[in-house]
Structure 1
Amino acid sequence: MRLIALSAAALSAAVSVCVLGAEPTKAAAAMPVLSSPAGPSLLSLVQVFFSLLLVIAAIFGSAWLMRRMTPGHFGGQAQLRVVGGVMVGAKERVVVVELRDTWLVLGVTPNKVSTLHTLPRPDDLPQVTAPVPFAEKLASVIKARRAGEGTQ
């Protein structure tokens, strides 16, 4: 609140000097200078640096948390898989979900999910394997590159 009052006093003094040609008031003359002519101090630079580190850490922490809390990634092997879906309205969808050997046709609205039909998984479709995690893919690529460098 005090800073707002000081800012208002400085603004009114500047306007009166520029527009009216009047002398600054005593309140404006007695106002403290907020920035030093020597530049920013080491303490303020350290504060800015640590504040920036805190913000970057918060961004990475929230990204990690969102990745860990993504639906369908709880547990090791997901037994539920979305086969496909189609929008049938502004917020309504019909989704086909595979659960082991059964396909469930679900009606999904903002308020409710209801089973429309249940049917066995078609035999002519290939078995879907779980996707290989990125860490395993990266390890295999690095191993292949190291093996390629060793033969040259």
Structure 2
Amino acid sequence: MHRSRFLILPLLSLGAADALAQAAAAPSGNAAPAELAGSLFQMLSGLAVVIALLLACLWLIRRLAAPRGSAAAIKVLGAAAVGPRERVVLVRLGEQVLVLGVAPGSVTKLHEMRPEDLPPATGGGAPPSPQRSFPAWLKQAMERRDAR
């Protein structure tokens, strides 16, 4: 909201300068202050309408972009690139946690796990450890699986 103040100030100063120039060019008398006030009111009311339209559009975009229904239950917990266009993605779907392989044109379920088995950085029970990242945890989990 602070940026919009900086954008509005030049518009106000331009409108006020225009109104002052018109008042200076008008013949002296009581009509000039009334014209100045009218121009200033017209400019400010137009600005208020534009700002109200912008806020209404932002509210509408936010409202329409919110996930609904089953999409609200899906949360991406982490991802790691395993190739130039392939990724391994950790997804929470309700009470299930899925490890998915994502490539152009396909999504494959690689593994299903319990939420308790999650690494700390993605929402497990233990506090997050700064040296453990999702790719390191994925490598360790795959090594454990291959050892079985």
- TM-score, with structure 2 as normaliser: 0.43
More helix by share: 2
Bigger radius of gyration: 1
Higher relative contact order (CA 8 A, sep 6+): 2
